[in-house]
Structure 1
Amino acid sequence: MKTKYLKPQPLVKQSYQHLKRRLFDRKSLILSEQLPYQVIAHFDKATVRHYPAKHHQQQRIPLVLVAPLAVKMAIYDLFPYRSLVRYLTDSGFDIYLIDWGQLNRNDADLDFNYFVFQALPALIKDIKQYTDCDEISLQGWSMAGIFCLLYAASGLDQGIRNLLIFASPIDAYASGRIGLGYQLANRLIEQSPLSLQQILLLKHLPNRIIHSPGKLNALGFKLLNPLGILQGHLQLLKRLSNLEDVKSHATLGDFLNDMIDYPGAINRDMLLWIWLKNPLNQGKFSYKGRTLDINNIKSSLLIGAGDSDGMVTPASVQPLTHLTSSQDVCFKLIPGGHMGLMCSQASSIQFWPFLTNWLEQRSMISQHH
């Protein structure tokens, strides 16, 4: 007697095909970075991407987005239907995105001095020359927010009309358990003998030793929200029959799995000068012979914090509201965690319209301070 086999159900077969494609042909599923751009400037490995405005009904000053290290530029153009740069260009803004490039161990010595006082001034100068405009709006998120804040405080550029700082630790000690940990660590280090302090502060370790590769950075970000990562995989299994859901999972996975190196010198600078010493909360920053005063900043200021950001909490970001000389300061809670505030669906619905409205009111070419 012959055994009668059941034909595979269409959905089961479809799910199998999608799973196979997700596992073995994931690149074909990725939806990010589809918006065209032109590279208009270089500085070592860094480039400036120009995303032109979809329309120019009104002449506006350039909007410069400074990317943090480690992340791929995909976060700014994650999906065709949910892309920050697409939203901004559709709203009439010319976007200039500073991409630091594929850093590796050969870049281990790059520090604050390089990014804030060499690369950033050169790239912004190129943007101003390209646009023939002396003023810009300057936005930085996470570590890039620190870069932008220090650059603005340096007085090197009097043409920053609008400064936008998102999810950057101003009072590092106020950043939840992470901040308390750094505060305790700094207290213990300061109470230690000087010779031990030198060891604990990694001052004698070569930058290549404390350089962190992209794979390690990716793991670190995942460990911030392991439950969310697991839930994402479970949702994929439930929705394998839907190709769009599979594409979404592949796109997010590509972004989270393929991060870029942190130079060892910047790891040291962030650890010592931002998290452990926590100087920004006092409004001043002394670094390698430079003293920067945040009170020098007079730009219109939009400060954003992720409402569920466990790494840089709103309480850590908010002190910036009273440290500058700006007469136009706005603090805004943004839906999402440390990354989600830049690209989540909730952020795109609730925050992006506010962002464009805030910029529109302050970006006309004819406006003057």
Structure 2
Amino acid sequence: MEILLRLHPTQRHDKQIEAMNPVQKKFADQRKKLKNLSTRLFNSKTLVLSQTTPYEIIGEYEHAQIRYYASPNKAYQEPLVFVAPLAINMAIYDLYPYRSLIKHFQHSGFDVYLIDWGRLNYAHRHLNFMYFINAAIPHCIEQIRQHSHSEQISLHGWSMAGVFVMLYTAYRQPQIVKNLMVLGSPVDSYASGRIGQLFKRSNQLISRNHKLKQALHQGSIPPHFIHTPGIINALGFKILDPKGWLDSQRQLFLNLHDPQVLHEHATLGSFLNNMIDYPGGINQDMVLNVWLQNPLKNGIIRLKDEHIELKNIRCSLFVGAGQSDQIVTAAAAQPLSQLTSSTDVTFTLIPGGHLGLMSSQKSANEFWPKLTRWLEQRSTKIHKETA
């Protein structure tokens, strides 16, 4: 009821409009649209619906916190652990009260944990892949195992976090990861449409200059030079998918009379406009290694003095890609399916783009149930004692 009231605050006013003549209705409708537009532009915080699901903080690791969302009807032993990418805030996992990825899995019988990296800033510019895959993620997962009283977990990573979880699983080779889900993550980065071709051509040009190649490929650029603040990340996300951003603005102006469209546009806008810094060390590993050099295409990556091979992944593996993703295309994500030693691999296309595969209505209707069935079939069912 509370959600309905928030979504339909003008129902009484709508009934008054129905009693008017056509001319009065037209002017009343225009006033309503202008009022809604004014609210969206100048008081958008009152429209935001994200992160309403209650949670408990059960652990910390330096700047990171571990959120726990208990299932009201727990049916499976292994908890589902969401590892968040950097730059984003946690709203994407609990975007709307009526369309929340966390709430969906909670009510599907899974205890849910979310690793929130906090608001990284310039002081964290030195952080890199090895920090996350060999320190932060292992420490957080150990706390989750202790709290959940479960030997094994199911691990989910989207976008950069998909790279985190695949490299963590390949490097640490933990038996505790029973099910691994990697969504919208670049493996053959050069195959990722125009963006991939841009990186491919850039690397070809860089390779002609020995000094420049050495500086960019060997990670000798000081992290403070390539650290990017959140505002740049927010702008970059929109530039990489201009069509998606423009379409959302168009839908808003065409539907200013619809309270739900107003709330959803403000909620998604709040998510996109409140991005967090990328540490310089992460840009070195993600942009100048994964994207520029494209090592994961061959199933191996070098990070400092460590070589990590994807063939070390042996658990059940689910790989997904957005059907209309312009940032990480299906051709860029799908090769992971052939690079591991897993004998249980599923690849699927997901409705939506890079963001939509996590949050769109079509993804919620079509993909979330598919992923849930996959996870249920590979999780340990709890047999409750009967009285």
Aligned residues, how many?
Answer: 360
1:222 to 2:238 alignment: yes
Q: CA deviation at 1:197?
A: 2.3
Would you say the 8 A contact 1:76–1:84 is kept in 2?
Answer: yes
Would you say the 8 A contact 1:50–1:96 is kept in 2?
Answer: yes
Equivalences for residues 258-337 of structure 1 within 5 A: 258-337=274-353
Q: CA deviation at 1:224?
A: 2.2
Question: Which AA in structure 2 matches 1:72?
Answer: N
Partners in 2 of 1:120 and 1:22 — Cα distance?
A: 38
In the alignment, which residue of structure 2 is the partner of 1:184?
A: 201
Identity of aligned residues (%): 49
1:115 to 2:132 alignment: yes
Partners in 2 of 1:327 and 1:232 — Cα distance?
A: 41
Would you say the 8 A contact 2:241–2:326 is kept in 1?
Answer: no
1:252 to 2:268 alignment: yes
Q: CA deviation at 1:189?
A: 2.3
1:127 to 2:144 alignment: yes
1:162 to 2:179 alignment: yes
1:15 to 2:33 alignment: yes
Question: Which AA in structure 2 matches 1:152?
Answer: T
Question: Which AA in structure 2 matches 1:104?
Answer: N
Partners in 2 of 1:228 and 1:119 — Cα distance?
A: 33
What secondary structure sits across from 1:165 in the alignment? Answer: strand
- Which 4+ residue blocks in structure 1 deviate beyond 4 angstroms? 199-204
Partners in 1 of 2:248 and 2:62 — Cα distance?
A: 37
Question: Which AA in structure 2 matches 1:173?
Answer: Y
What secondary structure sits across from 1:351 in the alignment? Answer: helix
Gaps of 5+ in 1: 1-5
Would you say the 8 A contact 1:54–1:91 is kept in 2?
Answer: no
Would you say the 8 A contact 1:202–1:268 is kept in 2?
Answer: no
In the alignment, which residue of structure 2 is the partner of 1:210?
A: 226
Q: CA RMSD in A?
A: 1.9
Question: Which AA in structure 2 matches 1:55?
Answer: N
Q: CA deviation at 1:365?
A: 5.5
In the alignment, which residue of structure 1 is the partner of 2:12?
A: none
In the alignment, which residue of structure 2 is the partner of 1:173?
A: 190
What secondary structure sits across from 2:180 in the alignment? Answer: strand
Counterparts in 2 of 1:173 and 1:8: CA distance versus 1, 3 Å: closer
Gaps of 5+ in 2: 1-23
Partners in 2 of 1:41 and 1:161 — Cα distance?
A: 22
- The range that moved more, 338-347 or 183-192, is 183-192
Would you say the 8 A contact 2:322–2:329 is kept in 1?
Answer: yes
In the alignment, which residue of structure 2 is the partner of 1:345?
A: 361
In the alignment, which residue of structure 2 is the partner of 1:100?
A: 117
In the alignment, which residue of structure 2 is the partner of 1:48?
A: 66
Partners in 1 of 2:348 and 2:247 — Cα distance?
A: 28
Question: Which AA in structure 2 matches 1:316?
Answer: A
In the alignment, which residue of structure 2 is the partner of 1:31?
A: 49
Counterparts in 2 of 1:132 and 1:191: CA distance versus 1, 3 Å: same
TM-score using structure 2 length = 0.88
Counterparts in 2 of 1:59 and 1:229: CA distance versus 1, 3 Å: closer
What secondary structure sits across from 2:194 in the alignment? Answer: helix
Q: CA deviation at 1:172?
A: 1.2
